[in-house]
Amino acid sequence: MIFVNPMNHHMKLFGSMKAGLLFVMLAALVPAKAAPVAPVVDVQQAPRSVFNQPASPKDGRDPFFPASIRPYASAVVSGGNSNDLSSLVMQGISGAPPHRLVIINNVTFGVGDDAEVRTPEGRIRIHCVDITANSVVVEANGQEQTLHYGDKQ
């Protein structure tokens, strides 16, 4: 009967592994000469986005707020007579003289503020020119109008 020592077999395997590991370590220490790398030039550029601002509702609408007239250059979008300021009503006034606030057709204004207000004729964009103790001067469509508290014009 032939007796094979399993320990001898493992020793041979371990010896060959040591030789392979030594070879890998020496190869890592030797600097390798690489070919010079040419600079990469990116000739293809990503296209730029172009956004066109619509001038009127027929040219385009805001997809998130389709009923908004904010993106349009026109000051008024209405179905009726946009020059009629008689439907503007001052509903309230508050604050100390340097910082007064006024409510016109359910919209709050300070001096210098611009906003849209709803009227029976449609929406009108107005600018608050001045606020006094019981009146307000507004401008819309090139016209100035003075509104008094409690007056329905």
Domain ranges in the chain are 90-148
pTM reported for the whole predicted model: 0.46
**The dihedral of CA 77, 83, 86, 90: what is its sign?**
positive
> What is the spatial distance between Cα 153 and Cα 134, in angstroms, rounded to a whole number?
15
- Whether 108 contacts 128, CB under 8 Å: no
- Give me the residues paired with residue 143 across strands: 140
Most distant CA pair in the chain: distance in Å? 125
What are the tens digits of pLDDT across the range 56-86?
778 888 888 888 877 775 444 444 445 678 8
Q: SS3 sequence, 93-138?
A: EECCHHHCEEEECCEEEECCCEEEEEECCEEEEEEEEEECCCEEEE
What is the model's pLDDT at position 13?
60
What are the tens digits of pLDDT across the range 101-152?
999 999 999 999 999 999 888 889 999 999 998 899 999 888 899 998 866 5
